[in-house]
Every structure is written in C-alpha cells, then in structure tokens.
Amino acid sequence: MINTSYEPVRLATKPHFQVLDGLRGIAAISVLIFHFMEFAVPDYSKNFIAHSYLAVDFFFCLSGFVIAYAYDKKIQQLSFWAFFRLRLIRLHPMVIIGALIGVICLVADPFGNLYGQIGASKTVLLFLSASFLLPYPAVPQRFNNLFHLNPPTWSLMWEYLANIAYALVLYRLSTKKLTLLLIGAGLALFATARLYSHLAVGWGISNALGGVARIGCSFLLGMLVCRLGWRIPNKLGFVPIGLLLLATFFIPYLNRINWFMDPALVLVYFPFLIALGAATTTGPFWSSVCKKLGDLSYPLYVIHYPFLWIFLSYVEAEKPGPDQLRIIIPIAATGISVLAYLLLTYVDVPIRRYLMRLTAPKPANSVVRSEQTA
C-alpha cells in the first residue's frame, strides 16, 4: 500500500537509459515534421513521413517503461500525492507555457482572423481548457480538436490519467494481471484501428475514445517490458537503433493494410526497440547527443503546434508551391526547435527547480526523485 503519511523518503538513483532519451528526441522531431506535412500534403499516402503519428504510441510505451522502472519498487514509500506532485512538477510548467503560446499564436496570426471569429471570452475558456487538461472542442473551423490552442495536449491528458491509474492500481497488479489487461487493450487497439483505418486518433471530438485504446495498450506494454526485464543485449549504439525507429515513421501509408499494420507496430516493434535501447550503451559523444535530444523532446512536443496553426493560415491564404514549402518548413521547424530549447533552459527548468524547493518536505531528509524524464 502507498504510504499515506508525508514522511520524506530517500529514493536511490538508478541508471539512466541514454539511448531511450535519444529515441524520444527523434520521435518528437518526427512529430513536428509530420504536422507540417499534414497541412502541406493532407493525403497520408503522399506524405513521406506519414506514420509519425505512431510516435505518440511510442511515447506512451516508453512512459510506461520509465514509470515502472523508476517506481515499481519504491512507490510504496511514497504517498499518492507525493508521487503526483513529482509528475505535476515534471509535466505541467510546459503545459501552461504551451497554452500561453497557443493564445499568442491565435491572437497574432498574421494570415488569418480566427481570433476575430472566436472572441476573447471563448479564447479564455480555451486557455483554461489547455491549462487544466479539460477537453473543450469548440472550434469547428479547425477540426474540433479537444484542445484547440495546443492540440497535442490530448495525449498529455491521457498521460496524467495513466500516471494516476499507475499510482492507485496498476503498480499493485501482478504481472499476470497486467498481461490480461494488455490482451484486452490490444484487442481494443485493433478494433480502433479497424474502425478508423489507422491509429491517428484521440485528438478530436469525433475520435476521442481512440485515445483510451492507445494509452491503455502502450502504457501497459511499457510496464510489462520493464516488469519482465526484457532486454536484448546488443552493441548497436544509438544511431542504428535511431534509424530503426525512423524507419517506422517512413513506412508508406497503405489504405488496405494500415488498420492491421499500425497496431502490429505498436504491439511488437515498439517494445522491441525499447528492449534494444535499454540494453545498449554509447560513447561520450553520442551520450551527449542523446541527452540533448531527450531534453528537447518534451518542450518541442508541447509548444510546436500553435505555430502550425499559423502555418495552416499561411497555406490557406498564400497557397505556396512545393518549392516554397521546401524552404519554409525546414526554417520554421528549426526556429521552433531553438525556441523549445530556450524555453527549456531559461523557463521550464528554473520553474521546476523552484517548485521542487517550494514543495519539498520540511524535515532534513529530502525526497530524491529517481524517475527519468517521461
């Protein structure tokens, strides 16, 4: 049972999976490029990086692995609120920053006038929705996302709920019971893919329930990879395993078989990559690269989409040709990545450090967080 007192505990530091950090960064950059391509080339069958929407499932699987690795043997020493505080401090500053950027991009969009149609009152509600992770699909002009100002917030909502489920229930379950849950979640994932022909779901009012299958399946899968101690010893290092992950995102979108291919990749290939990445090592240079990619991944994922709304307004207003887009997209993607790194370094990290000090238990012994960034 989770300790319900506020007695501070010291959690031993555990080894860090550097290659997995690097893979997280590759996935986040792929999502950024994919979202640009969605507006530049809406037809998935013509999108060169069409399967990057599966990066979300990779994130979920990796999150289940990391949370189980960090907490399975230690969570009984923590209260639920101590655990949730750590997750809140880790995740939520960037959630608020992303919502603020969403407001700025909506109001200052030089190519569109969506703010004029929405008005200030609805914008405030959209900001509160994005900040508190409460779905508010109220912008039909832009596909009725659950969180218009910052659409990727839908996955963070499920991430929070999965963390809560872990702290209350999942960590207590035996490996056998987790396996049974995973079988049910896997069937739901196949049913979801069959219904929609793909797994690019969960973000909007028309496909919101698809998010349940995606988080349920992948988070449990990551937990089981950790619980079973599945590691595939190898000397591949970061670059080959990173290319194996990228290969997933470059798979062509084939309408006839995509409903089967998506869940198969999630259930088989992603845990395989995590088992590879968790068992490999890399030298000082690539370790540094992996750390930087891992650090960048979360802020990049959280802040990038509001700028995509401006890009969509530009595409609709100016109708740029392929030659123009080949110049604009790399420049914009680089700029967003630089901004994400600056926000991480000068805003997010200082805020998190301050909040950790502010909320730290008063007695002399302090809680030392053992989790890796998820």
Q: What are the tens digits of pLDDT across the range 195-217?
A: 999 999 999 999 999 999 999 99
Q: Are the C-beta atoms of residues 306 and 130 closer than 8 Å to each other? A: no
Q: Give residue 362's pLDDT.
A: 65
- pLDDT of 16: 84
Handedness of CA 67, 71, 72, 75 (dihedral sign): negative
Q: Kindly tell me if the per-residue pLDDT of 237 is higher than 90.
A: yes
Q: Residue 10 has what pLDDT?
A: 37
CA distance 51 to 201: 12
Band (371; pLDDT cuts 50, 70, 90): very low
CB 267 within 8 A of CB 225: no
Best CA proximity match to 344, nearest among 296, 306, 305, 304: 296
- Kindly report the CA angle at 293 between 288 and 294, in degrees rounded to 5? 95
Tens-digit pLDDT profile for residues 284-332: 999 999 999 999 999 999 999 999 999 999 999 999 999 999 999 999 9
pLDDT at 372: 42
Q: Residue ranges per domain, the chain?
A: 18-355
Residue in the structure block whose two tokens are 């997010």? 348
On whether the CB atoms of residues 74 and 368 are closer than 8 A, the answer is: no
CA distance 40 to 328: 11
Of residues 367 and 234, the one with the higher pLDDT is 234
Q: Quick one: tokens of 219? A: 């988070």
